[in-house]
Amino acid sequence: MTVYAGLGVRTLINAKGPATRLSGGIMRPEVAAAMAEASQACVDIAELQAAASRVIAEATGAEAGYVASGASACLLIAAAACMTGLDPGRMARLPDARGMKNQCVMVRSQRNFYDHAIRAAGLQIVEVGLPDRYAGAGVRDAEGWEIDDAITEMTAAVFYVADSQSRPPLPEVTAIAHARGVPVIVDAAAQLPPQDNLRRFIAEGADLVAFSGGKALGGPQASGILAGRRDLVMAAALQHLDLDVFWDMWEPPASLIDKQRLKGAPQHGIGRSCKAGKEEIVGLLTALRLFIAEGDTARHARWLKDCETVAAALAGHLVTVTGGNDVGLVPTVEITPDPERMSATALCLALQHADPVIVLDPAARERGVVTVNPMCLKPGEAEIVGRRIAEVLAPR
């Protein structure tokens, strides 16, 4: 009996992509094996994080790196690091951020529910810009001068959510922030692929960047990467690690935590609830290595093959494969059911109620479109997805 059957929990075919509510994606056997192996020995967790820092630095071009329990967790400790610096008193007081730099400037159109992570650390968001380009009423979003205008002596960071439509461009934002002595935190949780994005945001001046471990990287669902400036990663680490240790006996790895720079011992910090275990750290580093080794071209070809399998099973219906020509994109299948016969919502629900449960992506249902995302399909599942959609669309 499988672990899930033993618990009476149904497994599902995830044709939606690595959503947390669907438990993320499928780890490669090598990643699962690395996690199992890691679970069989104890290590000094700071020493393991220092090793992770080296691997992440090499992969991203950043000075340092760190692993926490998701991109969201990384954003929380990034925000804390920008507020406290290396001051243990401030670290102890968070999320009470009175008396310290406690604001972050954020473009209004980039607001989203994941920014709860930085607010949880004690940061207040100061929104700028009026994105009338989305309303069709105008052409603007937020402009560089508006960010500059909003920076005050209370500004701990500028928070930027990376996406193809984010404005102003990141290099402009980092130049403005740095001219005022303010760091820039980038949420790049879902910005892989393309693989170049591992390095891009750091190259564009970001001081800290967060990526999800459980999305395209194929790492453990409860893991995320923080990459960036050495002093900020040190401040983040100090607010995340278990520091139940006597100061005179505490010997942290100097490459991650330079004890000489501290006036005293920080206590358990606000990031303590974002714990990453040795299994997650090792699993994530293994996944990162495999992600880089596979490369965009091979990964895209693997995903595109699954898309073509689904599309072929749906010959005669209105079906388009998107992203087939750009190896930096995730290709998908867009299915438009005949609205006379079935709505996009009804198609999704029919497969959600069937056996096996198949979860499709309804995000484009207002256009009458249902999307198949291949990222979390296992070998053989594309055939099942195509066949089941065909059966539901045209019952015999």
Residue 268's φ and ψ, nearest 5 degrees, are -55, 130
- Residue nearest to ligand PLP according to CB distances in the complex: 70
Residue 187 or 279: the one with the smaller Cβ distance to ligand PLP is: 187
Exposure on the CB side of residue 32, measured as CA atoms within 13 A: 5
Question: Where does this chain touch ligand PLP (CB under 6 A) — which range of 186-194, 201-209, 248-256, 338-346?
Answer: 186-194
**Nearest approach, Cβ of 6 to ligand PLP (angstroms)?**
27
**Nearest approach, Cβ of 393 to ligand PLP (angstroms)?**
30
Q: Does 189 bind ligand PLP (CB under 6 A)?
A: yes
Residue 239 or 309: the one with the smaller Cβ distance to ligand PLP is: 239
Q: Residue count at the site for ligand PLP (CB under 6 A)?
A: 12
The residue count for the chain:
396
Residue 187 or 280: the one with the smaller Cβ distance to ligand PLP is: 187
The structure tokens 């730099």 sit at 101
CA–CA dist 227, 225 (Å, integer):
6
Residue 32 or 190: the one with the smaller Cβ distance to ligand PLP is: 190
Residue 159 or 319: the one with the smaller Cβ distance to ligand PLP is: 159
CA–CA dist 108, 243 (Å, integer):
37
- List the beta bridge partners of residue 209: 186, 227
Applying the rule CB under 6 A, the residues between 12 and 31 that interact with ligand PLP are: 20
**Nearest approach, Cβ of 284 to ligand PLP (angstroms)?**
11
**Nearest approach, Cβ of 212 to ligand PLP (angstroms)?**
3
Per the CB < 8 A criterion, the answer to whether 390 and 18 are in contact is no
Contact partners, residue 218, CB within 8 Å, separation at least 6 = 25, 26, 27, 28, 31, 287, 290, 291
Residue 20 or 297: the one with the smaller Cβ distance to ligand PLP is: 20
Tell me which H or E stretch contains 13.
strand 12-14
The only residue of 49, 53, 60, 72 in contact with ligand PLP, by rule CB under 6 A: 72
Per the CB < 8 A criterion, the answer to whether 250 and 93 are in contact is no
Question: Where does this chain touch ligand PLP (CB under 6 A) — which range of 56-64, 102-110, 183-191, 276-284?
Answer: 183-191
Tell me which H or E stretch contains 227.
strand 224-228
Question: Where does this chain touch ligand PLP (CB under 6 A) — which range of 53-61, 89-97, 182-190, 319-327?
Answer: 182-190
SS3 283: helix
The only residue of 110, 197, 212, 371 in contact with ligand PLP, by rule CB under 6 A: 212
Q: Does 329 bind ligand PLP (CB under 6 A)?
A: no
**Nearest approach, Cβ of 23 to ligand PLP (angstroms)?**
11
Structure tokens at 237: 């680490």
The only residue of 190, 329, 349, 364 in contact with ligand PLP, by rule CB under 6 A: 190
Applying the rule CB under 6 A, the residues between 109 and 128 that interact with ligand PLP are: 114
SS3 254: coil
SS3 110: helix
Applying the rule CB under 6 A, the residues between 223 and 252 that interact with ligand PLP are: 224
CA–CA dist 159, 125 (Å, integer):
9
Binding mask 32-71 for ligand PLP (x = CB under 6 A): --------------------------------------xx
Calculate the CA dihedral of residues 374, 376, 381, 383 and round it to 10 degrees.
0
Q: Which amino acid is at 29?
A: P
Residue 74 or 384: the one with the smaller Cβ distance to ligand PLP is: 74
Residue 256's φ and ψ, nearest 5 degrees, are -100, -45
Where do contacts with ligand PLP occur on this chain (CB under 6 A)? 20, 70-72, 114, 161, 187, 189-190, 212, 214, 224
